[in-house]
Structure 1
Amino acid sequence: MVEDGLPRGETFEDLAAFLREPEPGGYPIQEVRECVCRSCGGRSFEVVVAADEGAVRRTCLACGAHDFIGDSDEYWDDAEEHGVCECPCGNETFAAAVGYSLREDGEDVRWLYVALRCLSCGGMGVYEDWKISYGPSLHLLDQA
C-alpha cells in the first residue's frame, strides 16, 4: 500500500517485497534477510548510519545490544558523522531487513541495501546501500 507517496507495510514479508521491487538503475535483489537481534531475538531497532562510509549499526530495543549490518564494523570508526534514522512521521523505531544483490556467478555479494519499516506508521524505505567490492563475501548474508 502507498499513502502520501510513501510505501507502507505491516510485516517482514511486506518489507521484503518492497526491497525486491526494481529500482531504476539499481541491481536486482536475490536475497532478503530479516534483521533479528543476535542476543535476544528482538525485531525492533533504533538504526544509526554512517552514510559517508556505507555503514549501519542497529540497537535492539528489547535488550540494548548493538550489532553491525554487513561489513559495517570495518568502516564504522572511520566515519566523520553518524545519524539516527528517522521516519518522515518523526518515529525512530524500526523493523529492518537487508537486501543482497549477488554477482552473476552467485559466489559473492555485489551490493547491499538496508530497508526499514517504521513501527509507528508502517512507512518503508531504503535508508542506506553500498557496494561490496571484494570476495569471498557470501558470509555477509548472515550479517543482517
Structure 2
Amino acid sequence: MALTKKGEFWYGTTSGDTQAELRSYSVANEHEASRFAASKCDCGCRTFALQSDEDAGVAIRTCTDCGQEHLMGDSADHLDDAAPETHECVCENEVFELMSGVSVTPGTHDVRWYYIGCRCVECNLVAVFADWPCDAGDAAAFLAKV
C-alpha cells in the first residue's frame, strides 16, 4: 500500500511505507536518511513498545512477545544520562513496527543523524517518533543494533 494522508497524519501497511515517511521526514530535516534497518527481536517478533530520550540519544525497544528489552544503536553509551519516556500513538496504542534510518557524514560511512520510524499495529499510523544528531561511527555497525 502507498502512504495515505488522513487529516494531518500519514497511514500505511508495510515497512516500505514507514521507510518512505522516514525518508520524507529526514529530507525536511535536512539530514536525509540513506540507510535503513527494520527492528527484529531475537525471538523473531517484529512488534515493540518504544521508549526514547532524544536529548540523551537513547532508544529502548521492548518485544511484545518475549518482553526482552533492547538498547537501540549506540544507546548503551548514553543510558546514564537518560530518562526515556514511552511512546504512544494518537489512537493510544503503544505497539509498533520499527524502522531505523540514518544519515551519514558526506564522504564517509559514519552516522550523523538517527531517526526512528514507527507504524502503529492498531491503526497503521506511520511517523517518525524520535530523532537526534548522532556521532556513532560506522552506519552498518550502528544499524545492526536496532
Structure 1 length-normalised TM: 0.90
Following superposition, the deviation at residue 120 of structure 1 comes to 0.6
Deviations 1:41-69 (A, max 9, x none): 21000111123312100000011111111
SS of 1:140's partner is helix
Runs of 4+ in 1 over 3 A off after TM superposition: 134-138
Deviations 1:101-143 (A, max 9, x none): 0111132111110111111111111111122225355410211
Whole-angstrom distance in 1 between the partners of 2:127 and 2:30: 14
Following superposition, the deviation at residue 32 of structure 1 comes to 1.2
Whole-angstrom distance in 2 between the partners of 1:58 and 1:136: 21
Change (3 A) 1:99 1:136: closer
Residue identity in the other structure for 1:100: V
Structure 2 length-normalised TM: 0.89
Aligned pairs, number:
142
Whole-angstrom distance in 1 between the partners of 2:113 and 2:104: 7
For residues 63-78 of structure 1, the aligned pairs below 5 Å read 63-78=66-81
Give the aligned partner of residue 90 of structure 1: 92
Any gaps of 5 or more consecutive residues in structure 1? none
SS of 1:63's partner is coil
Residue identity in the other structure for 2:109: E
Q: What is the aligned-residue identity percentage?
A: 32
Give the aligned partner of residue 11 of structure 1: 14
Give the aligned partner of residue 42 of structure 1: 45
Any gaps of 5 or more consecutive residues in structure 2? none
Following superposition, the deviation at residue 13 of structure 1 comes to 1.1
